[in-house]
Structure 1
Amino acid sequence: MQTDQNITLGVTLNIIASVFFALMFAQTSQLTALDGEEIFGWRMCLTFPCLTAFIALKGYWPQVISIYQRLYRERHFALTRLISALLLSVQLWLFVWAPGNGHGLAVSLGYFILPITMVIIGRMAFRDQMSRFQKLACAFAVLGIANQMVLSQSMAWPTLAVCLGYPGYFWLRRRTDTNNIGGLWFDMALALPFSLFFIIQGGEVVPGLSINMNLLWPVLGLGLISALALTFQALSAPHLNLSLFGLLIYVEPVLLMLVALALGETIRPAEWPTYIAIWLSVIVLMAEGIRGLKKWKAARVVIAPKQGAMQTPASQDEPAGRD
């Protein structure tokens, strides 16, 4: 049974995860000696063992084995895995590249728009029904995007990469029935050779046979933060229903925006209508989530007809993490 205490624990763990993601976003801007590709490579190589350990401890290996077996049974399935790994790698690279290259705000805006594009693609690709709240949110988002298009004649490419790339990635995972932690493990495993290549090619942390200790410790710290973020996010999932988990998605882009502003980026006056419209869109989606959460809370306690015991609906499946 999900008690209020368990829900509070889940919210706390999820917010801590978002804080760690924001810290990682900030720390990458300080690794000026490394380019984005080498930072990405180290992040992948340091995070993958932690993900593997989590899968082993939680008993998710059957998901990995099932996907492995499908590589031999299904035509073109291997190709979809390579495309999925590429789409994920682009997002993880962009996350560590953007803060140090003046695109932190563009990436945070992409994460604000992401839930809206997910709703639209769900409607177009899977015929998911859109509620009135979602339609209103999409209308606000369109206004914000229209203002940005008029302002600059185009959206910043990091914004488009996030708000269109991630939905494409999750669309492919859902279409190929790999939208689980086993699918994430496979995507990261396929990206590991490229990660090692970027590390060797960069050669800043490990030049030749020596080790640059001045860079090694910050890089190891980045890996630790990344692992902690994923761990706290995974630990929070069993304590949250999908509605509450969805609401907490908006904590991360707020923190990323604050980090980008702290790093010296600014929102131009002409861009404020875009941000206001997107924030209104987010508020509408949050209002829908809160409404759904209240309904869930009202329905989750049922008096058993014979024993008079308190029962709750079956727990939700664990939502998949993003970063």
Structure 2
Amino acid sequence: MNSSNRQGAIFAVLAYTMWGIAPIYFKLLQQIPAMEMVAHRVVWSFVLLAGLLTLRVGWQAISSLLREPQKLAWLTLSSALIGLNWLIFIWAVNNNRMLDASLGYYINPIVNVALGMVFLQERLARLQWVAIALATVGVTIQIVNFGSVPWIALALAVSFAFYGLLRKRVRIDGVSGLWVETALILPVALWYLFAISPDNIIMSEHSLTIQVSLIAAGLITTAPLLCFIAAAKRLPLSQLGFFQYIGPSLMFILATLFYDEAVTSDKLITFGFIWAALAVFSWHGLRSSRQPQQ
């Protein structure tokens, strides 16, 4: 690996590690309703990203975007998807469903491949078809034999996959794009905080510790994203993909070893098929990356 690749690998490990241990932060704020947590995440991410745009990135991309209504429309859809993804994830963590969240992010790369085939006319290799088939079998067994639909995992995987697909349609840097997305859902977040939040909760009614922790939601949201952007600039996607299993693996460890979530038989079977699918998926990616370019 050259210097740029090594830096990219470090940034990738940092990004996925932060995403993987993020449940610890949300567990500490378990008394805060999921919707309120998402609202604070939007508000403080908006503020932090505005500061980054002012001090480092600049507002040129935002100015250009305002003259392109089609791009704004795509970002409106992506903002709704990422907001939904945040809400489901926080709810899952705070309701002792972290294993389901972990499963969702294991499934996500396989859903990405499927969406690439359907919407981007990407051709799938034989091993990719095998990976998709294994993942489908695992989910189907849970639904048919155990009568339980892994809706949290599927919702997280599908919402984040479609979010990534929509973001591919908009040429804009990560910081500017995320700021626009948070700006689009900021009115909803503020409306909830000041009008709909249970017991009319506002920031001043929390303890100082909770206030500081809620403000930190902006950093929790943007820090791994910025590391991911830095990694993506320095690593080919074929290499970056191998780091994406760090996050759900850390979630799995946290759920089973630290938060006493039980690995029931239906989850164990589904995880087994998903892990097998990911092994096939990763082997295909590794083999493809080693083939000489024509």
Alpha-carbon separation, structure 2, partners of 1:46 and 1:197? 15
- Matching residue's letter, 1:17: A
Q: Answer yes or no: is the 8 Å Cα contact 1:23–1:225 preserved in 2.
A: no
Q: How far apart are 1:167 and its partner, in Å?
A: 2.5
Structure 2: unaligned runs, 5 residues or longer: none
Instruction: Please tell me whether residue 68 in structure 1 is matched to residue 58 in structure 2.
Output: no
For each residue in 1:270-320, what CA deviation from the matched residue of structure 2 results, as whole angstroms up to 9, or x when unmatched? Answer: 33221111001111111122223333xx669xxxxxxxxxxxxxxxxxxxx
Alpha-carbon separation, structure 2, partners of 1:191 and 1:123? 30
Q: How far apart are 1:6 and its partner, in Å?
A: 2.5
Residues 86 and 268 of structure 1: CA distance in aligned 2, closer, same or farther (over 3 Å): same
Residues 53 and 130 of structure 1: CA distance in aligned 2, closer, same or farther (over 3 Å): farther
- Matching residue's letter, 1:31: L
Alpha-carbon separation, structure 2, partners of 1:251 and 1:95? 17
CA RMSD of aligned residues (A): 2.6
Q: TM-score, normalised by structure 1?
A: 0.79
Match of 2:22 in 1: 24
- Matching residue's letter, 1:260: A
Tell me which structure has the larger Cα radius of gyration. Answer: 1
For each residue in 1:143-202, what CA deviation from the matched residue of structure 2 results, as whole angstroms up to 9, or x when unmatched? Answer: 11111112333422211211222233333344x545752443322210112222333335
Equivalent of residue 203 in structure 2, options 184, 188, 206: 206
SS of residue paired to 1:29: helix
Alpha-carbon separation, structure 2, partners of 1:237 and 1:80? 22
Q: TM-score, normalised by structure 2?
A: 0.87
More helix by share: 2
Matches within 5 A, 1:178-257: 181=174, 182-200=176-194, 201=197, 204=201, 206-207=203-204, 212-257=207-252
Alpha-carbon separation, structure 1, partners of 2:172 and 2:219? 25
Q: How far apart are 1:18 and its partner, in Å?
A: 1.7
Structure 1: unaligned runs, 5 residues or longer: 301-323
Residues 266 and 249 of structure 1: CA distance in aligned 2, closer, same or farther (over 3 Å): same
Residues 29 and 126 of structure 1: CA distance in aligned 2, closer, same or farther (over 3 Å): same
Corresponding residue pairs, total? 289
For each residue in 1:98-141, what CA deviation from the matched residue of structure 2 results, as whole angstroms up to 9, or x when unmatched? Answer: 21112211111111111111111221222210012211111111
SS of residue paired to 1:122: helix
Alpha-carbon separation, structure 1, partners of 2:125 and 2:61? 33
Instruction: Please tell me whether residue 129 in structure 1 is matched to residue 123 in structure 2.
Output: yes
Match of 2:152 in 1: 158
- Matching residue's letter, 2:214: V
Q: Percent identity among equivalent residues? A: 24
Instruction: Please tell me whether residue 259 in structure 1 is matched to residue 254 in structure 2.
Output: yes
- Matching residue's letter, 1:238: K
Q: Answer yes or no: is the 8 Å Cα contact 1:16–1:229 preserved in 2.
A: yes
